[in-house]
Homo-oligomer: A and B are copies of this chain.
């Protein structure tokens, strides 16, 4: 079973990468109000049980994939390449 974990800086957390992207987009002539940069992890799980997959992914996020102090995450199934 395939899933995508989306990791974003929490609101209020400084995001220098996002600021750089926003500034560069403006310099290129794009009208943007805000830009934030996060990361994504596509995970191919061996389980095909959706609930089990959700539980495993949450543990992965807590143990490795995110820093819960400064990042929030979202789990999406069936998305991605």
Contacts and interface: CB of A to CB of B under 8 A. Distances in A.
B32 A45 contact: yes
Contact of A39 (B33, B39, B44): B39
Which bucket holds chain A's interface residue count? 35 or more
Interface string A29-56: 0111111111111111111000000001
Most chain B CB within a 10 A radius of its CB, from A7, A18, A28, A42: A42
Copies of this protein chain in the complex:
2
Contacts of A63: 28
A72 B81 contact: yes
A6 interface: yes
Contacts of A25: 43, 60, 64
Contacts of A6: 4, 40, 80
